[in-house]
Amino acid sequence: MNKFYKFIKITFGWAFKILYRMKVVNKENEPTTTPYIVCANHTHVFDVVPTVVYLKPQVHFMAKKEVFKTPILGPFAKAMGAYSVDRGAGDIGAIKKTIEILKNGECVCIFPQGTRSPYLDPRELNAKEGVGMIAARTGVGILPVCIRTKRNKVSLFRKTEFIIGEFLPPEKLEFPELRGKDKYKAIADLAYDKICEMNNEIERKPLSEKKIKKLRARLKEKENKQRKQRK
């Protein structure tokens, strides 16, 4: 863990505890050894902060290449151990980098939803296969994490829980009867189901069908834009 990461970890820990009424649940579930993949739901750009603050090892994240071109955010992301993904040209390089980090004995965080989806219940979405592919190719376990709020979005002064789920060791991710994409999907779905189970352990006022359709349309528009950039 580099010194800057450690400084941010300490500083932001107090700030988040106050500003976001952050509470850590099931701390004992965190593995004592690395490497492993942290798999979390994603509703806000600040989802990375509690993952940095409340897990012991340094956790690496993918960040779109545009982040590294900004004067302040770029150096900050680099100092925090983030690495670039080029959405316009595909993400093969980023996947190779992720595998390299894990094989070096470190941790990465992957958001299986693929993009931020504020207010939507995670079960309204599907997990991408990427986390399953990386877990299968590296042979590491997965730590499901749920960033749980009443509105499915991290917001100032609203109670936020950082729930650490039961660790999924490599032997639980083998699925010997499956191959290729089917295996990757089974691994991703298993981890994602654990996140959804933790997220559902809270009473919420359900969104209206109109609101859900609007949020889904906005998410689809965002994904289509990203797809066009890759071409």
Average pLDDT over residues 177-203: 90
Task: Tell me how crowded residue 216 is: count the other CB atoms within 10 A of its CB.
Answer: 14
Residues 110-152 have pLDDT tens digits of 888 877 777 777 777 888 888 999 999 999 999 999 998 887 7
Q: Confidence class of residue 211 from pLDDT cuts 50, 70 and 90?
A: low
Residue 226 in this model has a pLDDT that exceeds 90? no
> Do residues 20 and 156 touch, judged by C-beta distance below 8 A?
yes
> Do residues 230 and 89 touch, judged by C-beta distance below 8 A?
yes
**Among the ranges 8-17, 69-78, 125-134, 213-222, which has the highest mean pLDDT value?**
125-134
Average pLDDT over residues 13-21: 83
Residue 220 in this model has a pLDDT that exceeds 90? no
* Tokens encoding 231: 């071409």
Of 7, 19, 21, residue with least CA distance to 159: 21
